[in-house]
Structures are given as structure tokens and as C-alpha cells.
Amino acid sequence: MKQSRRIVLGITGGIAAYKAAELARLLLKQGIEVQVAMTEAATHFITPATLQALTARPVWIDQWQDAQGMTHIHGSRSADAIVIAPASADFIAKLANGQADDLLSTLCLARDCPLLVAPAMNRQMWANAATQRNVQRLAADGATLLGPDSGPQACGEEGLGRMLEAAELARDVLAFLEGKTARGDVGLKSDLQSDLPDLRGVKILITAGPTYEAIDAVRGITNRSSGKMGYAVAQAALEIGAEVTLVSGSVALTPPRGAQVVNVVSAVEMFEAVKREVARADIFIGVAAVADYRVAQTSTQKIKKSDAALTLQLVPNPDILAYVAALPRPPFCVGFAAESEKLRAHAAAKRKKKNVPLLAANLAQDAIGNDDNELLLFDAAGEHRLPRADKLDLARALLRHVVTLYQKGKKK
């Protein structure tokens, strides 16, 4: 029987406290039990009644709500994590220095479960040397920092310090709990996420998105790749502990937090970025839809329309996957093939030509721009089908296969 998951959601005083209600709702929707604990200052921003109605549990505020005064001891004993969201500068200082002068800070000090902290404060407060010392001490003590994000703040200023949005925090809390599950602590929600491998210390280089090949100052050659699959692969790799470098073409996506992102435009720029990064990679996954050709002579000015025909000479772009696979000591290489017909024949031929141990193939018309996909994997043992699923779930399944082959190769 699958073990239920439970968190204590700690809310401190700050305008971002309103996001905690949505965070609680999203976590409850995922089957996670949420027990709210608030500081007195937090009650000035959001009422305990709101959170009690959402969670169907009395909200902890006062140390003496428990007749024995032991809420700070018992509160964490059945929890899988304590999540402080928002975590004000004052509360972070308390945590870093072991102060315990209210229920929530005492609960954190007496916990026997992991602590996740989502900072929320003005940009100058976040940048202050004292806050940065406190954050570094928290991290050194084993706390997990979620954010902060950069953007407009309630005070009218803009910069780093605002709390992550509720959906991002819910995703990160889930990923954390499921990461614990991979090491046998709690149950997983999705079969596609079961038996996740551990890639801590393994460096993965991933390419994603389209490339854009300029014709003139305003026109170019590109494709309809959204980058969603490559970003999902990066997210899945981060979830299992890998160090991820993501070389990305121009996309309208938020990069997975924790990835080192290198933004590029053209195929040549992507090739140069891969050459710079590949020496540090243990695994290379080429998901990007790289243009096969570019214009031989790009105009620096807009080409004016006329009645005459216009001829463009196209020259081949570098073959990034073939280059990486042919290195004297290549990383474990995974290629992607987006075909419009004869998927098996073209994909099998591409794997052989590129000389890569694994190639993932799909029909472009069924995948580009969609949130879901299906893949056929080709390796030395034959082909393996990954059925249609959300791209993140599909990426997790792909990573399991990649890691199996990678680890087998290391044992030889």
C-alpha cells in the first residue's frame, strides 16, 4: 500500500503569503496532506480561516494550542518535509541562527525532516550581505532553497527576491518528495516516475529548441520546434541529480531551475557552444531541431522586394551529433530524429550513420508544439516503444533507459 505524503507548510509575514493558499491547493490536489503553521505576522496578510477551509485542518499559530505545549515536537514527526513559503528575511535569519521564539521557528529547530525554504523579500533585502550569509549558512546546514525569482515586486521595484509562483513551488516540492522516493522514503504518484535512477555527479549536456539561420536583417530559415521535449529532458535529468547544461535555441519557455543555460540562435552558434561544453559532459543528448542548411551569404540589410527572381545558395550546417560521437573520448551520445515518414527505416539508418548508442525517434507532425509525444528508441538491442505521454513523463522514461545503457557501458 502506497504511503501518503505529508508536509507542514510554514507561512511567514509578507505580501507573498497570498500565494501560500494556491500552493496548499495545488499540493492537496496531488494527494499531499498539508498542515499549515503560521507566524503571527503572517495572519496580517492571509487569515487562518482561509487556510483552514482549504486544508480542512486547524492552523497552528500558538505554541499553546496543544494542551501539553508540544506541537513543536510532534509537528514534524509524521511530516516528510517542512516548507516555508514565503520565508521572510527575518525568518531566514532566525533559521540560520537557531532562534526559536515562536511556534514555527521552534518547530523548524525541533524537526526531524527536511526543510525547504522559499525566500520572499525586497530586492535590496535579498542582496544584503547579512541575508546572503544567512542563506549560505542555511544551505550548508542542509536546507533546500527554492528560489527566489526575479521580477516586479509589490513595493514597485523590480529585481531578485520575489517568491516563486505557486505552480513552480508545487512542482519543486513534488520533485523533492519524489527524489526522496527514489531513495526509498515515500511513495511515487506516477508509474513513469518509479525506480528513478540516481545521477548525482553526472554531467549531462542537452541541446533543445530550433535554430534560426538569417537570410537578411529581418528574415531567416527556422522550424516549428517549441523546445518542450528538450526542456523536459533537462528537467527530468535535474530531478535525478544530474548536473545539466542546456544549450537552447530561441524558445518561449522558462528554463528548468538549476540548469546552466547557454542561449544561442544559429546552428553554428549551437555547434560552438557544444564544442566548449562537451569536454565536461558524461552524457550528451541532442534534442534540438538543428537546421540542416544555412544561407551562404547573409545580407546585413533587408533585401528589397523586386520583380526579379531571388536565388539563395544554401550550404550545410555542422553536424553536431556526428561531431560529438566522433570525438576521441566521446560522452554517451543520445540522438533525436524527427521524421515525417518511414520512421523506423530513417531512424535506424541515422543511428548507424551517426554511430550513437541510442537514438529516440518520433513523427514530427505528431510531436512539434504538442505537450505530449511518443518515442521509438533504437539501440543495439533493437527498438523500444515509449507510449504517448506528457513530455515530462516521457522524458523521465527516456532517462531511465539512457541511464541503464550508460551504466552498462561504464562497467565494460
Distance of alpha carbon 278 from alpha carbon 323, whole angstroms: 10
Partners of residue 384 on adjacent β-strands = 377
Torsion (CA) 131, 136, 142, 143 in degrees, nearest 10: 30
Distance of alpha carbon 142 from alpha carbon 312, whole angstroms: 58
Count of positions (residues) in the chain: 412
Partners of residue 35 on adjacent β-strands = 8
Phi and psi based region of residue 56 (left: phi greater than 0; alpha: psi -120 to 50; beta: remaining): left
Q: Are the beta carbons of 58 and 52 closer than 8 angstroms?
A: yes
Distance of alpha carbon 331 from alpha carbon 333, whole angstroms: 6
Q: How do beta strands 332-339 and 358-363 pair?
A: parallel
Give the distance, in angstroms, between the CA of residue 84 and the centroid of all CA atoms in the same chain: 20
Distance of alpha carbon 76 from alpha carbon 164, whole angstroms: 24
E strand or H helix at 236, and its extent? helix 228-239
Q: Are the beta carbons of 37 and 8 closer than 8 angstroms?
A: yes
Q: Which residue stretches of 128-212 are H helix?
A: 129-140, 166-182
Of the listed 108, 113, 155, 333, which one is catalytic?
155
Phi, psi angle pair for 11, to nearest 5°: -120, 125
C-alpha cell at 2: 502506497
Phi and psi based region of residue 274 (left: phi greater than 0; alpha: psi -120 to 50; beta: remaining): alpha
Q: How many CB atoms lie within 10 A of CB 270?
A: 28
Give the residue carrying C-alpha cell 544549450. Answer: 247
In a 3-state reduction of DSSP, which class is residue 238?
Answer: helix
Active site residue 155: yes
Residues identified as active-site: 155
